[in-house]
Each structure stands twice: as structure tokens, then as C-alpha cells.
Chains A and B, each alone.
Chain A
């Protein structure tokens, strides 16, 4: 016990002198969790709070284009800038650049006429199928209704999809209104009253979203609930740079050899390192979770809501910490230089984080990659945290994710022990 205590004191002293290691284990993950959560939170805000600047190039100026303008304003997603001068791609590009617009929608001359023709054609078909004549209305050729949409290259694919969805929805409203009016006119031989039009067009089905949780609370997870646990795990595994390097240094400077000539020293040495870094992992959890819970609300981010089962949270943190330590230990034992452990350690953690769903959600990965998810210890740690933070799980719900973590930990510890034996270090 005395030897273990002396070893713990020594390892704490070494840790406190490892400034770079401390920065990598604490400052970097805190920065990452702040930046990534802010960015993801802003993704929602861009769509919901901050409107996307859209230049509405209206060369048509007729009724349907004005209705479309009105519909786009009603969507609320766009900061609409109307321009009726630009007439070619070059003008459009210049105007978008001058106005810092992300999207440009170009309505050519005759747009309203073509939409009307299209609506007449479709209505005519529908009325014929019903055996109702089309009255005195003059039918014309069906209009071409393709429109040119211009995007700033900075707008990512996901935002484009959202923008296209909103544009299509607005066009649908305009087209539907036109068709409804025509049908109404045909059947009633009068204009459709405003209130009827409103009732018909805005009678949407409301989608009630429900989040499936173990406790039935149905809380909607936010960017903080997703990111804080994820980047805490990343931080824990990044201790490979400090613990791995520390082991390599001890191997290279001969401390291990000296300990081998002392009664029982090396076992206390290996065990104390793991205890010290487990303490580091738990401090990382406390620090990052505290920032999520108490600092985030002050900088406009959603606060982290801790799970109700704190014992389960502690268990997951300890098991994840042990897994991270075992990975670092293994790498430290098999690396011959500090450069090897730092280089391979950092890159491997980023790869395992990507495979484990920390950088990109697992479900978004290609099927061929998803097979490798199971080999990433970070994946199982993340699953365990998500069970607590997103699904309000209890300790009993965690075993399916805790067993794989424990199995990986045992495998890594065995591998490290074999390495120490083979290298004649114990």
C-alpha cells in the first residue's frame, strides 16, 4: 500500500509537469465541445432564427410571381431581397455577391402565364375525368415550369435540401391556389371566396413529434445533450498522448528496469498509473459536464441536463475511463518512441471517434463502414452515455453497452500485459 501511494504521488507529480498533456486532455476537448455544440446549435438557428438571404429575381412581375413572393415570405425561412433588374447569369451572380445572398431564385418573363397554363391543363384533365366541362375558359398548351435556382458555394448540401424543400412547398401553394380557383370557378361560376381559399390551402396536418425515452419523458435532445458526452469520451481517449508518452519515457529511461530490481515495484507502478489517469478521466467528466450544465446557458447554448441516475452516470464514466486508459497503456507498451505513441495515438483516436459515431452519427455512415463501428471502443462508450443522456436510461438498461466496453478493456489490458512480458519489462 505504501508503495502504491508513493507511486500515485510520483505519477501525479509527473502529470502536473506534463503541461502539453494537460492541455490536450482538458483545454482541447473543452474548446471542441464549445465549438462543435455552438456550430450544431447554429445549424438549427440558421434555419429557424437566422433567415437565409434569398434574392428574388422577378422578371415576370405578374400575379403568380407576386403570390410566390408572398408565399416565400410566409415560410419565414428566407430574408427576401427582390430584384427585377438582373436578366442573365452574370447579373444574378453579381447581385448575389453584392447582397451577400446565399440563394437566388430567377423568375423569367411569362412565369405567371406558364403557371396558369399548367394549372388550366391539369384542372381540365381532372374535370374531364370527373365528366365536368371546363366552361368558357380558354385552354392553352401546358406551360413549362422549371425554374433556375442559384446557390452560393458556401451553402452546404444539407441546407440546399432544406432550401429546395421550402421553395417547392411555396411553389406548390401557388400552383394549388391557381388550380383550386379554376375548379371553383368551373363548378360555381364565380370567384372562390377568400375564407374558403384559406380553409382549403391551409388545412395542414400537424405533425406531433415525440422522442422515445425509457422514462417516457419525451424530452427533445439538443446539440448539448449530443455533444457534451461525445466530446468527453474523445477527451478521455485523448489521454493516450499523456499516459502513452509517460510509459514510453519510463521504458526508454530505464526506470522500469530499475523497478524490476526492486521488491514488487513495477506492479505498483503500472497500477498507480491507471489509478491516476482514472482520476484524470473522472475530473474530465466533472469539468466538461459542469461547463455544459452551468457555462453553456450563459453563452447562449442549451444547458446540459444530467441524467437522473447519477450512479449509472458514474459507472459509465469509470468504465469508459478504464477503457481509455487500457488503450493508452497498450499503445505505450508497444510504441518504441514518444513520436510513435503521440502520432499513432492521436490519429487512431480520431479514426476510432469517426467510426464510433462521435464525428458523424453512426446511422449516417455507409453500410460498409458501419461494420467497423462495433470495434471502436468510443462507439460503445458513446452508446452508454446516450442511453443515459438521451433515452433517460437506468443502470439496468446499460448492460448491453457496458459488456462490450468491459470486454474491450480486458482485451487491451491482456495485450498490454503480454507486451510488457515480451519486452522483458515486468
Chain B
């Protein structure tokens, strides 16, 4: 079954001269750990926003687990989790209070929130600071809270927009390990990052995106072989160019 199926998707921001995403097609099978890589402004976050329903496309369709997101909003929203790039929670509240709130918004029972919340705080190393206001946390701890909220309801698909941006090596390692574990347990990962090394570590399928178009999509090994490159970085520069992207 296709976890994500995007057909002829186009989106143009108000005031922009050209569409950022144009007639984009993409599919990700269930159980995959899919990585979307591209330079700044390539359209990674926009594509993820369109797939998760945060943005409405001008044309095209998005299906998650076979359900059109426009016609099955409610059912679809129970099936996926979203970990935005920005730290999207309440700084003034503790991790436990944030999990209580967002868990209830996902329709979880108190018991489910408590049990899952405790487990997540343990796994992500936040059990000792569960009741402290998040604003007192380091950047890495905040990233882990951001992730915990996104996976609280055990989604079948997890969208992660640069979940390791601005964290230290230890936190990045912990997050990657946890994501691997989730994927091993059947969660489909749809992941964007600037860290190309994470592709090798985490993804069994990757896509390179630039100017709103998918330039290549395959497993890392096949992609490198097809383009006769030895590293993803070289392939990345070959396909997207070496000029600055501001």
C-alpha cells in the first residue's frame, strides 16, 4: 500500500512569479523511511505542508494510506503525525502538560496520554524534567519534546521537517535511533533534512528536490550507481548546482 501518493501537485504562493511546486508526482510505500533532500528554497517544507494539509494546493491530489486528504480530513489526520521544523508547542508549559494538551487534541484518552507520555519521556531522556517549563530547556531537549508530541498518538506515517536542526551530536544520535526504532515497528517516515549523512543512516529511499521538482528518487545505492557518483554530497551538487541558494 502507498503511504503517500502525490499526483500532479502544484502550488504557487501569493505574489510569487512562478509556482514553487509544479505538477509534482511522488509516492512512498508504507513502512519506508523516506528522506527528501534539497537546497534552501527547493520546496521541501512547502511539499510537506501540502501533503499534511497545512497548505492547500492549487491543483493536484494527495492521498495518505489511500485516503484523499481533502475528502477524508478527519480520518487522515488520525493516521499521521507531524513534527514541524519550528518548535511548535507551549514554552511556558512542561513536557507533560504539552503532551496532555496535544494528546487530547488527537483524541487520546487520559490513560493513553499518561502511558504513552511516560514511555516517550523515558525513551527521549526527558523523564527527569517532565514537569519543568520547556522554556528552561536546551535546544536539543526542546527538539525531543517537539518529536514526542508528534509521535504521541502512534501515527502510521510520521512527517518530520528537519527534526535534527540545531542539535548536538548526542541529541541527533538519540533522535535518529528513536526514528529507526519507530520505522522498524512499522511507522512510515517522511523526512527532510540538510544533513546528507542522515540519508545513509536512516533512509531506505531518498529523493532530491529542487525548484519544486523531484530530480531523482531511489535507494541511495541505486541512485549513486545510476549517476556514477560515490557520495550523496557529490550527487547533490551535481544535480542541484554549486551556486548559493538564499
Contacts and interface: CB of A to CB of B under 8 A. Distances in A.
A419 B168 CA distance: 38
Given A10-B97, A13-B97, A262 B77 contact: yes
Given A13-B93, A17-B133, A255-B89, A3 B104 contact: yes
B84 interface: yes
A253 interface: yes
Nearest to A4: B104
A206 B80 CA distance: 83
B230 to A, nearest CB: 38
Interface in B151-199: none
Contacts of A268: 105
B86 interface: yes
Given A17-B92, A263-B74, A263-B77, A258 B101 contact: no
B106 A262 contact: yes
Interface in B73-96: 73-74, 77-78, 80, 82, 84, 86-93
A260 B53 contact: yes
B131 to A, nearest CB: 12
Contacts of B53: 260-261
B88 A254 contact: yes
Contacts of B105: 3, 6-7, 259, 262-263, 265, 268-269
B52 interface: yes
Given A10-B93, A17-B133, A258 B102 contact: yes
Nearest to A16: B92
Given A253-B91, A264-B74, A424-B55, A6 B106 contact: no
A103 B73 CA distance: 78
A265 B102 CA distance: 9
Q: Indicate the member of A18, A253, A268 with the most B CB atoms within 10 Å.
A: A253
Interface string A265-291: 100110000000000000000000000
A139 interface: no
Main secondary structure on A side of the interface with B: helix
Contacts of B1: none
Contact of B90 (A2, A10, A260, A424): A10
The 6 closest A-B CB pairs, nearest first, are A6-B104, A254-B88, A254-B86, A265-B105, A258-B88, A10-B101
Given A263-B77, A424-B55, A257 B88 contact: yes
A258 B82 contact: yes
Contacts of A263: 73-74, 77-78, 105-107
Nearest to B135: A17
Task: Say which size band chain B's interface belongs to.
Answer: 20 to 34
Contacts of B205: none
A253 B107 contact: no
A337 B193 CA distance: 28
A389 B90 CA distance: 42
A73 to B, nearest CB: 65
B54 A253 contact: no
A424 B88 CA distance: 16
A20 interface: no
B77 A254 contact: no
A269 B101 CA distance: 10
Contacts of A257: 54, 84, 86, 88
Contacts of A2: 104, 107
Contact of B84 (A3, A258, A264): A258
A75 interface: no
B210 interface: no
A14 interface: yes
A261 B190 CA distance: 15
Contacts of B87: 253-254
A415 B35 CA distance: 40
A27 interface: no
B54 A261 contact: yes
A9 interface: yes
Contacts of A261: 52-54, 77, 80, 82
Nearest to A10: B101
A151 B237 CA distance: 85
A257 B88 CA distance: 8
Contacts of B91: 253
A332 to B, nearest CB: 16
26 contacts: A3-B105, A6-B101, A7-B101, A7-B104, A7-B105, A10-B100, A13-B93, A14-B93, A17-B92, A17-B133, A250-B90, A253-B87, A253-B89, A253-B91, A255-B88, A257-B86, A259-B105, A261-B52, A261-B54, A261-B80, A261-B82, A262-B77, A262-B105, A262-B106, A263-B73, A263-B78
Nearest to B104: A6
B9 interface: no
A2 B113 CA distance: 13
B149 interface: yes
Contacts of B93: 10, 13-14, 17
Given A260-B53, A262-B77, A9 B101 contact: yes
B87 to A, nearest CB: 6
Nearest to B82: A261
Given A13-B93, A254-B88, A262-B102, 5 more contacts: A6-B100, A9-B101, A10-B90, A262-B105, A424-B55
A2 B106 CA distance: 10
A14 B86 contact: no
B86 to A, nearest CB: 4
A260 B69 CA distance: 13
Nearest to A2: B104
A24 B89 CA distance: 25
A264 B78 CA distance: 11
Interface string A239-262: 000000000001001110111111
B89 to A, nearest CB: 6
Contacts of A14: 90, 92-93
A152 to B, nearest CB: 52
Nearest to B107: A263
Contacts of B73: 263
